[in-house]
Structure 1
């Protein structure tokens, strides 16, 4: 039988995050692990890096045997395009890089991880802006014109069915996105990465629409005096 979710997370959860940060990239692309380290040092929990290092080494040295594979009680890593026989060495190389980052530590002159930048990978965009990705991918996909007719109706549907705490989180993520040093072209690429598949409503540019959206959400999340 498959692994119970709690057992999966206990044994492989941190490892899985590291590997999934490489999806859509070449396995040995350093930008993928830089993105993981940048996000985890910034947003935490930082101890997940140490847990991931231990899980990577354990899995590399003790992959599942034939019995566990026959029973289905094993972790199946995502396909990163590695040739047979390369996977164990790849895991150990990742673990070594995590160990280097941990050894530098927050007090190091070099800092504990890559310098803060706007997200650089698909995984990092969604890890840093999860609720914005939920809104854009769920309510502003290519089906939006058929489902809702216009942007205002789509946003209203999101607000009607979403807990206020998540709306407040979305508001914070929008302000954080707008604070990044991104020009209009980069903002357009960012919202596309986060799942938006329709153009903003006329006459807005992407940046202007995001600012208008942030204003609406701020008004929605601001408590009114009684």
Structure 2
């Protein structure tokens, strides 16, 4: 049987975050320096969840030192390391290398400097999770079959998403604008975050995102008014 979510997170939750950072990225770490994928993980995690770094270091090292045996393989109660382009015989050594880099970053305070914009697919989604949910969920290649136009999709998101999430989306959009991206970078951003259709005619990606921020952020909370006789 597969492992229950709570037990999975206890053993492999943060390890999975590290490995996920390598989606579409080479495992090009060396003893002298972490590769781009691990650097992106370190940069974002130092900023958002610094306490998780020690958990990642421990889970990586434990997995490398105690790979799943035949029983756990048969039961499915283990973390299957996805194909990262390394021979299977080198995976354990690579995991130890990642753990060493994370430990060094913690012990020596080696925090990757801020980047002008996310540098990997994982980092885009880690930094802009709700924007990724919005673009990937409402503007996939199926969008023309589900909605009459882009405005209809935006209205559907606003009407179905919790207001906490819509507020988060607006905040992430303004964080994206604060990066001062060129238009080509805005096009890259929406692509990395899951948008599979073009913006509306006559809009660039950046201009359309600004319009979305205005419309999603345009809702007004409804407050009750006391009776005049109250």
- TM-score w.r.t. the length of structure 1 is 0.92
- 2:27 is paired with a residue whose SS is coil
Aligned to 2:208: 209
CA shift digits 1:34-69 (9 cap, x unpaired): 11011101111x111111101111111111111221
Q: Which residue of 1 aligns with 2:96?
A: 92
1:99-139 deviation per Cα after TM superposition (whole angstroms, max 9, x unaligned): 1110123xxxxxx4211111110011011111111111111
Unpaired segments of 5 or more residues in structure 2?
30-34, 226-230
Report the counterpart of residue 160 of structure 2 in structure 1.
161
Matched ranges for 1:58-207 at <5 A: 58-105=62-109, 112-117=110-115, 118-207=117-206
Match in the other structure for 2:61 = 57
Greater radius of gyration (CA): 2
Does the CA-based 8 Å contact 2:18-2:38 persist in structure 1? yes
Whether contact under 8 Å (1:34, 1:114) holds in the other structure is yes
Q: CA deviation at 1:193?
A: 0.7
CA displacement, residues 64-102 of structure 1 (integer Å, 9 cap, x when unaligned): 111221222222122212102100110011011101110
Matched pairs, number: 218
- Cα distance in 2 for residues equivalent to 1:71 and 1:169: 40
- In angstroms, what is the RMSD of aligned CA positions? 1.4
2:229 corresponds to 1:223 = no
Partners of 1:219 and 1:75 in 2: CA distance? 44
Retained in 2: the 8 A contact 1:141–1:196? Answer: yes
Counterpart position of 2:228: none
For residues 208 and 84 of structure 1, the distance between their equivalents in structure 2, rounded to whole angstroms, comes to: 46
CA distance in structure 1 between the partners assigned to 2:206 and 2:23 by the alignment: 28
TM-score, structure 2 as length reference: 0.90
C-alpha contact 1:35 1:120 (8 A) present in aligned 2 = yes
In structure 2, C-alpha distance between the alignment counterparts of 1:186 and 1:224, rounded to whole Å: 37
1:1-59, CA deviations, whole angstroms, 9 ceiling, x for partnerless residues? 11111111001111111011111111125110011011101111x11111110111111
Preserved contact between residue 2 and residue 77 of structure 2 (Cα < 8 Å): yes
